[in-house]
Structure 1
Amino acid sequence: MGFKEELSFAPGYSGFIPTLGESFGHTFGIATKQILDENLSLKQGRIQKEREAAKAARRAAAKQPEHNVVWGQEKTWATGDDRFSFPPVPGYTGYIPRSKEHFGHSYVQTTSESLSEFQGMMARKNELPPRVKAVKNAHQPLIPEPTYEGDQRPHLFQYTSYAGSPSPSRLPGRDAPRTFPSGYTGFVPRKQNIFGESYSASVKKAIDEFTAPKQAVEDRTRHEKALIHKQPIPGFTGFIPSASRTIAQTFGRTTLIAYDSFNNRDERGKPAPSQDDVPIAKKLKDQRPIPGYRGHIPGKQDL
């Protein structure tokens, strides 16, 4: 027995009616009408018809004919970065946009409806919302804009680019405002290396150093190697460069060796070995004792 136009079973119908045993407190006509309207398992129910109408509206919005796949029959692989331009292989378990919103159908139908809806959403992405369109249409100019052919449109305005206030580091070298205003707390390049001067003078000097040519900066930072030509006073307890490398020598000879190593250092500042630094003799007979030495000398007690 088929469904009637008023969506209810005929009184006295004794056939199977799904979920009728779960309906209570209603007459036979009202209960069967509610089942036909709200039961999701019926293909001709109200909910199913609303879903079909919504799907038809989405297809029309996406400009896709019904029962037509998104991809063309001539495409058998992805084109460029569009991985949805070719028909997926049955059993494909990768991501398909909007596929979670469609279920209960075959793989081909589900995929086709999902991609059709996805393309419709992408097509409507650049369109204005209906309320915005209504506001835009309501404020159309009363006087129509005149039409021109070719390059006949007059230029009413002439735009000029505004350069703004240039940075102090971009001003010429002798320009007076080549400094930041007092109280400026931003970053000034090379200022952290200048001390003991006023803010304007230190900033001006830092900007000059920052904008100077590279060769001039290298020439200015290249200093001559400092040399030591003086002998320290006997009993001097201050610092002597590279003196800690020399042992078992007198104070005067230690300073000579240390100064010779310091004056012949390399570009990185590493002291070079001194030619005056004589290695310690392995045999005591080749070692000259230091004057005033009171340590142990083997065999001295026998003399």
Structure 2
Amino acid sequence: MGRLKLTTAEPYYTPGYSGYCPQFKYEIGRTYGASTHEILTSPKINRSQQGVLTNTLPNEEVTKTATGWTTSQEIKAMKIVNSRQQSFGNQKYVHHMIPGYSGFVPRSQKQFGARYATACDSAIADFDIEQTQSLRSNYTLGQVNQKRHPKLRLTAVKEKELQNSIEAISIKLTSKSIAKTVPISYMDDDDPNKFHKSGYTGYVPRQKEIIGLSYPISSHVATKQFHTESRVRSAEAHKPITVTRQIKSARDGRVIFPKTSGIMPHYTGHVPGMKYRIGGTFGNNSVDTLRM
């Protein structure tokens, strides 16, 4: 008696497959997996040469490493990541990154169906390959441009003296020309040009307090008043400050019964003559008790 197999031999259709299976209606007495396996492997049945099923085993070479079974693509990615670490020193992107890293990993959004460490290795390797290809293409493009448009050689130029020299022109500055360039804040208070023209949208200090004048006159008065107050305030700020304080004599703490004030309430000691005083507070009745 042969050994019983618990798993269905490959290939077969998974139960629940709703696609077309040739001559399945003639298969009776066996499970869906066993029947479809017989149909897919029997040479007596005419079927399409291109199957619907996909080979689950990778076509690439699989080798065993210290961390488990690894494909050739994973080994290639591991070598690229290790070379980056050796070239650039301490890197955040290392081989077999620990899951839970919250930083950015380039090209990791395009990796699906793999462990975090394997996906990070593949993403970093793809990013490094793209960077290398980009640098190579830029270098190749530079060489092509250099061959198409070679640099011209520099030619020596002899120095020549100018025959016609330009005479210096003296320019005299007048008060009117200076007034046009000097800001209003630096003009004298008596300068008639110290005002803002109508339509000026900037801030003019103290102008809101002036009413009933045209804009040029009100801006002149407000600016003059502001500068005068600023100079007075600046002069006051540079004056020395003297602070005087009247020194009061300290109260003698040894006096139990003061003459000019009463004793604090809730005093539990003996107060002479207190039992003969009626109709006043404790503080008023305890003033100068020794006089009694």
- TM-score band w.r.t. shorter chain: 0.3 to 0.5
- Relative to the length of structure 2, the TM-score reads 0.35
Q: Radius of gyration: which is bigger?
A: 2
The TM-score with structure 1 as length reference comes to 0.34
